[in-house]
Amino acid sequence: MQPAAPLNPVSSVRSVAQAFAILRALAMGEALTLSEIGRATGISPSSVHGLLGTLQAEGALLRAGGRRYVLAPGWAALRALEAQGPARVIARARPLLTQLAQVHDAAVGLWQRTAQDRLVLVALGESDAATRIHMVEGQRQPIAGGSIGRALAARDGLQGDELACRFAAARWHRPLDLETWCGQVAQAAKQGFGLDDGYAHPGICSIGVAVDGDPQSRFCLTASFFAGVRDAEQIDEVGASLVRTAGDRLFRLAFNTPADQ
């Protein structure tokens, strides 16, 4: 008898990978609807519907409270399915980033605050546009820089010398003084998102928000697009959409924050 050919570690069966994505989403511990599972995994509703039926028939899932699904007890006990800590947030974020990038034709990033008070890009959603902004997961920036800097300074409630100290740590490609930056921080506090229009990166307009449900403000979202292609009303629209995404129920689940019923 010939020995079985070794499995190719690179190849995968799409439906199996999608099934495990659903199992990992439900391993977060909350009962989810079909649409919430789709948003959490990035899988189309029709595919989710078929996979849910299969997983339920195989005893991996149970219906809970009408249209919601949970892991069956035996599967719920498998700790290997659970993403923990930052990985839990990043896993929740990826399909939301891609969805937002496609809707607004922007590069949408999830940034994590490090112990050294810097920001690192940990996940990225991109549009299908032929010409788009190039960002690389793992890139870093000072905590005060860009639109996130305004959003975090507002979220942290910085005042006076604290604002000046935070501002001094940033580098700008267009002239920007402390008074103007503080005014932009105040505006971020009012509208819920920070805005950087070419100060941090020439030719790039960026919107930043802190993720809801994160008591330590460790994670932020940005939407970046080419400067000058959107008017103030369109920028406000993208900002409002980013704020809604930052407050998405799936993020609150990742931080174990009780969700609205």
Residue-wise pLDDT tens digits, 117-144? 789 998 898 888 888 898 888 888 888 8
Are the CB atoms for 222 and 246 separated by under 8 Å? no
Give dist(CA 206, CA 195) in Å, integer: 6
Closest CA to 176 of 146, 140, 153: 146
pLDDT tens for each residue of 166-218: 999 888 999 999 999 999 999 999 999 999 999 999 999 999 999 987 766 78
The pTM (predicted TM-score) of the whole model is 0.69
Least-confidence region, from 7-11, 107-111, 197-201: 7-11
pLDDT tops 70 at residue 79: no
Domain borders along the chain are 14-81, 85-254
**What does the buried/exposed string (b/e) look like for 235-257 if buried means 16 or more CB atoms within 10 Å of the residue's CB?**
beebbebbbebbebbbbbbbbee
Per-residue pLDDT at 131: 87
Q: Span 85-254: which CATH code?
A: 3.30.450.40
Kindly indicate whether the domain formed by 14-81 is annotated with CATH number 1.10.10.10: yes
